[in-house]
Amino acid sequence: MGMLVATDVTKTYRSGVRANDGVSIDVAGGEVFGLLGPNGAGKTTLVSQILGLAKPDAGSITIDDVDVVRRPEIARRWCSYQPQAAAPVDGLSAREAVELVGRIRGGEASKVRRRAGELLSALDLGDVADRPVPMSGGMARLTGFCMAAVVPGRVVVLDEPTNDVDPLRRRALWELIRNLADDGAAVLLVTHNVIEAERCVDRLAIVAGGRVLAAGTPAPLKAQLGAPLRLECTLEPDAASPELPEGLVAAGLAGRRLVAHVQASGVAAAVAWARRAQEDGIVAEFALTPASLEDVYASWVTTEGAA
């Protein structure tokens, strides 16, 4: 049984919008669990219920076997949280904000100070951490992460932690998220950043329309695609969308970016087709890569949207 278990959680707002419709997830200690889904999928509503800020209409949520729907004060003690919006750090320096939350979460002053310093240094914020000036979006978000990680709960909920963060710091951030799980926390990671999340999550659930569409470890989910590889082509600016040969299944066309699924047996034919299209001035460049979580995500969410 996981550290965080949500079973058949259903939540309908007064407006009539059903934000969660029988959502079940199970996150073990030491695991990073990705909650992936488009805007309005019901991810943040689920988070609010886990944190005891909202109450489900039906279903149960337990943390370490304690019913936190009935005892929301336990959820607040055992969960640390980075909100989707920037953490409220106005007027504070990053270090002050992180240390204050660490103390409020019950940390000892000296340990909190040391841990805050480590986190801020790891994210390369040491030089700016003591300035109580308005923060950029990325810096406020990194500070929000440190506020959640300074005295981590048994469950750490991170809602879009990488938004607005530059690539180098994002890399450090993923490492710190991984470390939280390695230290024993159950990390619930809500994100749109499917490509980067793939490097960090142990298991994931894809949600849309308030329901869990698919859940599991990345490998079986990718296997469900039926094609282990993807051919990604960037079309020439004025080129029309080309017709694909047999064995290539179009997975999407966004602007000039064409993605197709490729079977292992069709690799040679796919590369040959792409080379020809390049010589004919249709394709500017192409790459053959293993299928990713993004493909899984796109296939489920697109299917749901079409349903």
Could you tell me the smallest distance in angstroms from the CB atom of residue 181 to other proteins?
20
Could you tell me the smallest distance in angstroms from the CB atom of residue 113 to other proteins?
14
Q: Which is nearer to other proteins, 36 or 151 (CB)?
A: 151
Q: Which is nearer to other proteins, 155 or 229 (CB)?
A: 155
Q: Which is nearer to other proteins, 145 or 286 (CB)?
A: 145
Q: Which is nearer to other proteins, 15 or 265 (CB)?
A: 15
Q: Which is nearer to other proteins, 55 or 276 (CB)?
A: 55
Which residues inside 67-126 make contact with other proteins, applying CB under 8 A?
A: 72-73, 76-77, 79, 81, 83, 85-88, 90-92, 96, 100-101, 103-106
Could you tell me the smallest distance in angstroms from the CB atom of residue 104 to other proteins?
5
Which residues inside 32-71 make contact with other proteins, applying CB under 8 A?
A: 48, 51-55
Could you tell me the smallest distance in angstroms from the CB atom of residue 138 to other proteins?
17
Q: Which is nearer to other proteins, 71 or 256 (CB)?
A: 71
Could you tell me the smallest distance in angstroms from the CB atom of residue 250 to other proteins?
41
Could you tell me the smallest distance in angstroms from the CB atom of residue 149 to other proteins?
14
Size of the site for other proteins (CB under 8 A): 29
CA distance 155 to 31: 10
Binding site residues, other proteins, CB under 8 A: 13, 48, 51-55, 72-73, 76-77, 79, 81, 83, 85-88, 90-92, 96, 100-101, 103-106, 132
